[in-house]
Chains A and B, each alone.
Chain A
Amino acid sequence: MSEANASATRITPGNALRPEDIALQDAKPADAVARYALGLGDDALILAQRLGWWISRAPELEEDVALANIALDEIGHARSFLTYAGRAWDKTEDDLAYFRREPEFRSVHLVEQPNGDFARTIARQFVVALYQWELYSRLVHSSDPTLAAIAAKAVKEVDYHRDHATQWVLRLALGTEESRRRMIAGLRLTWPYVEELFTDYPLIDEVGDAGVRPSELRESFDSAVRTVLTEAELEVPAVPGAVGGGRLGRHSEHLGYLLAEMQVLAREHPGASW
């Protein structure tokens, strides 16, 4: 199957880097690189956890399939980033996902936001996908070969997520009065969490060429957003940005509940394998 018509997740090119391969690598990331990878992995993990809720609840069966695909891609990225990060501290992806406490997570507030209705989920998807595409398309040039390889796989998949979210923003914005009202509300609820994505944090200086400076992504992101919202006959929401801090371990009120659910079974059986 050619790359052009490959689905977002089902096609794993034979030589793509899998988390299992990363676990077997000799290379250990520097501590700063590991902490950087942890943040990107946590974003993908928390988003996958949110999206997974939709499977069996979507507005149409085709969307159950699509949202599941996106969730699967994100969990794949999470597993790769967390596996790689964990090598610095002799921890597995599951040690990191299931046995860290809330302040030890490094996800941004945006991915922690509740699903809300379909329009709110699409608004969050729209922002995340555009942001992750800008990020990964630069991270492929990382001086750290493993991060570059993870990004090379992820950027292709996130490109489909961009397309999926963009098409839905257009459909909902230009569909019916109700869908337009909901799309506008979804974007307004999402926009306070955009600023944090592009705010530099101290670790970025330590990571150097291995990472991507968030503030450098802003211009391309804004331009991509404007293109879609113009076609959708919508304005960029004029709402104040919320105080972030996810990269420093200061989270939204939502994360604790999400982690309680995600971690409950693993924590009931510490040391067990599944």
Chain B
Amino acid sequence: MTATAIDTRADHDAAGEKVFNDIIARDSRIEPRDWMPADYRKSLTRQISQHAHSEIIGMQPEANWITRAPSLKRKAVLMAKVQDEAGHGLYLYSAAETLGTPREKMTEDLIAGKARYSSIFNYPVLTWADIGAIGWLVDGAAICNQVPLCRASYGPYGRAMVRICKEESFHQRQGFEILLELANGTPEQRAMAQDAVNRWYAPSLMMFGPPDEDSPNSQKSMEWNIKRFSNDELRSRFVGMMVEQIKVLGLDLPDKDVRFDEGTGRWQYGPLDWNEFKEVLAGRGPCNAQRLERRREAHEEGAWVRDAASAYAARQAAKPTTTKAA
């Protein structure tokens, strides 16, 4: 490089930016090797890693009932569901890694309490009916949020979401099935189901994030074709779905204000306690400390196993003739 050479980066960025903007304008896909604005990369890394963390932390509340599941079929289904969540975490960490942040770093941020995950997993899972309510309401809300993400402008994220949404759809149906069985069961089972719906309804509505006027990251995300619908729009759509499905369950939604507003074409719902949302988000929910501690413990207690696997792999690689390992 000579002293007179111009800094080609600015030109390259200008060209890259044009290509990027064209791709977004055409509603096409950005791939890992494409130029992208630093903010786009940062925002996506934040969103995808938070999503991955949510899957991983989200394993805990349900895993809590694996050993006590009340039938062998339910035990098998629950194990498979929690296993799927580990798989979702893996795809998502991989998608985030294509943006340049290693999984190890994301995991460290999570256990250091520096990264966020969905607040919903900081609520306790108190009864078996909660497993049903989580599948129906929490996974149901997740699906509403995630189906539009299958079209997210970042290719690896969109593609991961396609697979995740298929599995989430099973999860929601198994949750609904649990509640349906309980709702048609003994009076105790029915009461258990209603109680779970009562406790999970509002937190699941808050999963869509703060009201639109209070959602700072939303606008940019929509310009970039990552987010397609506003928080309130998705929340309203979700309420509309739940209104119909609760009738089949023969239970009640704990919200007297639910109604369809002809004027706006949207479902209305009662006031949500956004102070509670902020408190839980800030780490002061019922189970924040417990969930993080459990993840930290699993990670730290597993360190010697990961070290052994690396040492063994290095030893195998150094061997002159490799023996086949599965």
Chain A residues proximal to chain B, CB less than 8 Å:
45, 48-49, 52-53, 55-65, 68-69, 71-72, 75-76, 78-79, 82, 93-94, 97-98, 117-118, 163, 167, 170-172, 174-176, 178-179, 182, 261-262, 264-266, 269, 271-274
Contacts and interface: CB of A to CB of B under 8 A. Distances in A.
A56 B308 CA distance: 20
A64 B295 CA distance: 12
A179 B294 CA distance: 22
B57 to A, nearest CB: 9
Contact of A179 (B63, B82, B189, B304): B304
Interface of B: 56, 59-60, 63, 66-76, 79-80, 82-83, 86-87, 89-90, 93, 128, 178, 181-182, 185-186, 188-189, 294, 297-298, 301-312, 315, 325-326
Nearest to A72: B79
Contacts of B79: 52, 55, 68, 71-72, 75
A56 B302 CA distance: 12
B326 A175 contact: no
B71 A274 contact: yes
- Give me the 8 closest cross-chain CB pairs, A-B, nearest first: A59-B302, A175-B308, A179-B308, A68-B83, A59-B305, A56-B63, A56-B59, A64-B86
A61 B86 contact: yes
In this complex, the member of A63, A167, A171 whose beta carbon has the largest number of chain B beta carbons within 10 angstroms is: A171
30 contacts: A52-B79, A56-B60, A57-B297, A58-B298, A60-B305, A60-B306, A61-B56, A62-B90, A64-B83, A65-B87, A68-B82, A69-B83, A71-B79, A72-B76, A79-B72, A94-B71, A98-B71, A118-B302, A118-B305, A163-B326, A170-B325, A172-B305, A175-B312, A176-B308, A176-B311, A182-B304, A262-B67, A272-B70, A272-B188, A273-B71
Nearest to B65: A265
B89 A61 contact: yes
Give chain B's interface secondary structure class: helix
A265 B70 contact: yes
Contacts of B303: 59
Contact of A174 (B63, B75, B312): B312
Nearest to B300: A59
B68 to A, nearest CB: 5
Contacts of A163: 326
Contacts of A178: 304, 307-308
